[in-house]
Structure 1
Amino acid sequence: MPYPAPVMLHVLAGLVAIGAGFAALAVRKGGPSHRQIGTVFFVAMLLMAGSAAVMAAIGGQRLNTIAGLFTLYLVSTAWLAVRRPPRTTGRFETWAMAGAALVCLAGLAIGLQAATVGVQDGDPSSGNDPTIYFVFAGLAALGVGTDLRVMGAGGLAGRPRLARHLWRMCLALFVAAGSFFFGQADEIPQAFRGPHLMIPPLAALGALAFWMIRVRFPARFVLRAPAA
């Protein structure tokens, strides 16, 4: 077997997650198919991000560790946003927010350290570019800010609840697609490389923008919120 079992688990879970993520975006929201596919996406993302975080931490890969932990935070809180009854929160949200705060602080600290030492090359996936750490820190800070607002309000209902679910799931899909098509581009056979590899990550960002607009202006669309 050319690759260890954890690597194979990570790759297979990532492929399933990316496929299920785009499938969930394509089917009718709130219906049985969406919930079933969404469950597959959720489980696959947990396996992908969890294995990535563990392997990266063992291997001393700080960027992949941060990306894995942040993705776990996104999918778990997005899942709970529609699984909990409206206007309720629990202890998990508090622990998840604390984890996101740690990701934010770690991103800032490593980014500042990398900026002080100097970037050794211009490849963000190398872990030497401070910009990518600042991006993760900023996104984690955004997550912490929204978590504080949600807990202060005692939970969400209606469009805000749906928006919390959508932006976190879409962003997690972007991280997964970007990690595979950008971060692992050197593992893809040369014949299949090219600008087309940018399509899946950009499609995830496009879906994020589309759904935020759709939730923000509901009068122009007919929305059906996911069942709790």
Structure 2
Amino acid sequence: MNALTWIHIAGGVIALVAGAAAVSARKGGRLHASAGTWFAVSMLVLGATAAVLAQAQGDAGLGLGGLLTCYFVATSWVTARRRDGTTGKFEIAACALAFAAAAGIVWSGLAGESTTSSGAGPILALAAICVLAGLGDLKAIIARKLTPVQRLSRHLWRMCVAFFIATGSFFLGQQDVMPEGARGSPILFVLAFAPFAVMLFWLVRLRFAKAIARSKQSGLISIGRRAQTHV
């Protein structure tokens, strides 16, 4: 178990570095693809080892969190790999897993088996995320083929949720190993929730990509006309 713990820690460190690199790199470029692959693999290691360690410790909540990490990473990675946007049996299995996880979380939260220092609120919020993910899987199954915007949006938000699991677990969940002066710092909360800010930025940009392109084109045309007028 000590060896598995170190593997778990190593996976988390690599995930944080690779995730930051993937977010910062030009989307679709070689660095983005390479960092994204490292992030996906390290997050799968992180989630799988968390599930095994939780089983040994009798912590059902941590085990479920590990499985959900693997779920979000796997569905995001498969979506990115299928450039034609097709969906199939994998999405059906993922959909069933998401709804089953949501039901299990709700039951555990209402029964008082899972709780946090803030009460059952965060537990139910996690269940809501699982429901949204399951509905997204169901929508993809019904559509059978996603548009480029739908495919990229699905890849983006799922990978950012997985990234938040890594940043939240480290910056908020491991404050006891940080310098005493840094504990409880607002900066830690900013770093923990940064993946959601990135997610919102790119989702908005994806949704309004055509409008942004038209606006830039209109601006260039306007500048060109003014230049011709001055000549």
Deviation string, structure 1 residues 75-112 (Cα, Å, up to 9, x no partner): 10000111024231232222222221221011100111
TM-score between the two structures when normalised by the length of structure 2: 0.85
Matches within 5 A, 1:188-227: 188-193=178-183, 194-221=185-212
Displacement of 1:221 = 4.5
Would the aligned equivalents of 1:63 and 1:133 in 2 still touch at CA under 8 Å? no
- Does the CA-based 8 Å contact 2:79-2:85 persist in structure 1? no
**Residues 1:162 and 2:152 are matched in the alignment:** yes
State the percentage of identical aligned residues. 37
- Secondary structure class of the residue paired with 2:111: helix
Q: Quick one: structure 1 residues 54 and 221, their matched pair in 2 at CA, closer, same or farther if it must change by over 3 Å?
A: farther
Q: List per-residue Cα deviations over 1:166-215 (Å, max 9, x = no partner).
A: 00111110111001111122232324433322222121111011111111
Q: Is the 8 A contact 2:50 2:66 kept in 1?
A: yes
Please state how far the C-alpha of 1:220 moved relative to its aligned partner: 4.8
Contact 2:19-2:39 within 8 A present in 1 as well: yes
Work out the CA distance in 2 between the residues paired with 1:183 and 1:60.
19
Could you give the per-residue CA deviations for residues 126-171 of structure 1, whole angstroms, max 9, x where no partner exists? xxx3222211111010011010010101031311100000001111
Structure 1 stretches of 4+ moved >3 Å: none
Once the 2 structures are TM-superposed, how far is the Cα of residue 118 of structure 1 from its aligned partner?
Answer: 10
**Matched residues in 1 for 2:65 and 2:37: separation?**
21
Asked if residue 6 in structure 1 is aligned to residue 18 in structure 2, the reply is no
Q: 2:44 aligns to what?
A: 46
Relative contact order, higher structure (CA 8 A, sep 6+): 1
Name the CA distance, whole Å, in 1 between partners of 2:169 and 2:211.
Answer: 34
The residue number in structure 2 matching 1:225 is none
TM-score by length of 1: 0.86
Q: 1:58 to 1:155 in 2, by over 3 A?
A: farther
Instruction: Calculate the aligned-residue CA RMSD, in Å.
Output: 1.9
User: Cα offset for 1:40?
Assistant: 0.4
What is the count of residue pairs matched by the alignment?
212
Do structure 1's residue 142 and structure 2's residue 128 form an aligned pair?
Answer: no
What residue ranges of structure 1 are gaps of 5+ in the alignment?
Answer: 223-228
